[in-house]
Structure 1
Amino acid sequence: MDPPFTIGEYTVRSKVGQGPQSTVWKAEQKCSGEVVALKQVYLSKLNRNLKTSLDCEINFLSSVSHPNIIRLLHVFQAEGCIFLVLEFCSGGDLESYIRHHGRVQEWVARRFMQQLGLEVLHSHHIIHRDLKPGNILLSGPESDVLLKIADFGLSRTVHPGEHAETVCGTPLYMAPEVLRFKKYDEKVDMWSLGAILFELLNGYPPFCGRTNVQLLQNIESCKMLPFSQLISPGLHPDCVDLCTKLLSTNPVHRLSFDEFCRHRFLRGKGQGW
């Protein structure tokens, strides 16, 4: 159906994005005129694992209020779909931001990393499993951008000592243990953070491949992260250290969430150290 059309209390104005199981629309609440994002999830396209992830997404977003996590305003069901009414972020996503601006300065990358509200995920034992620039939204004016993690459609609860094994996510940001079909824990999100940090600094992801097999081979054969020669001489050692430790192929050696938060690179505040 092409917009405009009405679903429940909302007038749908335009399509924002689409995935295999859902479509995201820009819409207005008919009475108040409030602009929102409507995530339409097609129930017929959900298997048991995806239904569990949808329940996890709704339960988590309903229970948290954090400036760096997208706000869930309302949930309703209509026409064989679940609709999540979410706050609308007018700044687009981090993928578009990188495509428009190219690589960012080191202090901007640090500020963005400081903004990702992972402490909330960690405290709720949630792993996102699809952290990538396209799932990080921008709110506020460009001079003072606020990042918000969105799209928890693949998230699930994993308590300490537990593991997941479903292969899911976006390959360029997917931890090698997932690509290897191994069991995994919350450290898959830390790998994704490392890939996002690398892309912010360089303007391109750290690893690529025409297939998942080739991508994994490129990851496992890498002896040193492929930083652009245009920026590597000027990068602070703390920045390189954080990126390298997040992108450790062995999850045992990869930074934990707590180690990430305490890292020297993130403790800086201004444009210099």
Structure 2
Amino acid sequence: MAQSTSRARFVGDYLVGKQIGSGSFSVVWHARHRVHGTEVAIKEIATGRLSKKLQESLMSEIVILKQIIHPNIIRLHDIIEEPGKIHLVLEYCRGGDLSMYIQQRQGRVPEAKAKHFMKQLAAGLQILRENNLIHRDLKPQNLLLSKNDDNSVLKIADFGFARSLQPRGLAETLCGSPLYMAPEIMQLQKYDAKADLWSVGVLAPFCFSL
């Protein structure tokens, strides 16, 4: 349960700090555990404003994040619920997202580092496929970095559009970000997990050439 005083606000055992992000139905806060000081990101979602479909997507995202534990997938530490809200306590990535990382370096990302990021992205996608999952919204803003330096680890985040997809299964929902969306999705055709690979193909020159 969220608690607040004149000096501090707590969500469960976490002391809430500054806002670090926001979306249509959510706000993301930096926070620390009140006892051991672990830094986390708390995604506060106003469930009362979600449609039935968005509520189902949220529950699916939670199931996926509980299921997958991997260095290149964002970690879900805890879930804290209260009336009208749900808080996802997530791994905090100090380095921000991949888009910010490249912009901060004026697009000058060494080839070796860009290859390293792509290998980490591939490792994250491999574990998703091993668990019959498709992400469907791979883009620089959904690829987070653990640190703001050259030793950063890339982590796939934001599984709101992700779903289970068996090896020979097909999806047909139009979703994702147009710049990184596979042609078959934009053409309202059925598609499989290779749609994620198209997004990776669009991401690669973004890493290497900005």
Band the TM-score falls in, shorter-chain normalisation: 0.7 to 0.9
Per-residue CA deviations over 1:70-125 (Å, capped at 9, x if unaligned) read 11111121131221111111111101011111142332221111112111100111
Q: Is the 8 A contact 1:9 1:29 kept in 2?
A: yes
Count the aligned residue pairs: 201
1:109 aligns with 2:121: no
Q: Could you tell me the percent identity over the aligned residues?
A: 46
- Counterpart-to-counterpart distance in 1, 2:36 and 2:204: 39
Partner of 1:81: 85
- Counterpart-to-counterpart distance in 2, 1:171 and 1:4: 40
Aligned AA (2:193): E
Partner of 1:131: 138
- Counterpart-to-counterpart distance in 1, 2:209 and 2:157: 23
Partner of 1:189: 196
The gaps in structure 2 that reach 5 residues or longer are: 1-6
The one of the two structures with greater contact order (alpha-carbon pairs below 8 A, sep at least 6) is: 2
1:151 to 129, 135, 158: 158
Partner of 1:215: none
Aligned CA distance change for structure 1 residues 6 and 78 (closer, same or farther; 3 Å): same
- Counterpart-to-counterpart distance in 1, 2:109 and 2:166: 35
More helix by share: 1
Tell me which structure has the larger Cα radius of gyration.
1
Aligned CA distance change for structure 1 residues 202 and 141 (closer, same or farther; 3 Å): closer
Aligned AA (2:154): L
- Counterpart-to-counterpart distance in 2, 1:141 and 1:103: 15
Single out whichever of 8-17 and 43-52 deviates more from structure 2.
43-52
1:122 to 103, 123, 129: 129
Partner of 2:3: none
1:95 aligns with 2:102: no
CA RMSD of aligned residues (A): 1.9
1:66 to 67, 70, 79: 70
Aligned CA distance change for structure 1 residues 166 and 48 (closer, same or farther; 3 Å): farther
Runs of 4+ with >4 A deviation: none
The gaps in structure 1 that reach 5 residues or longer are: 204-273
- Offset, 1:192: 1.0
Single out whichever of 93-102 and 163-172 deviates more from structure 2.
163-172
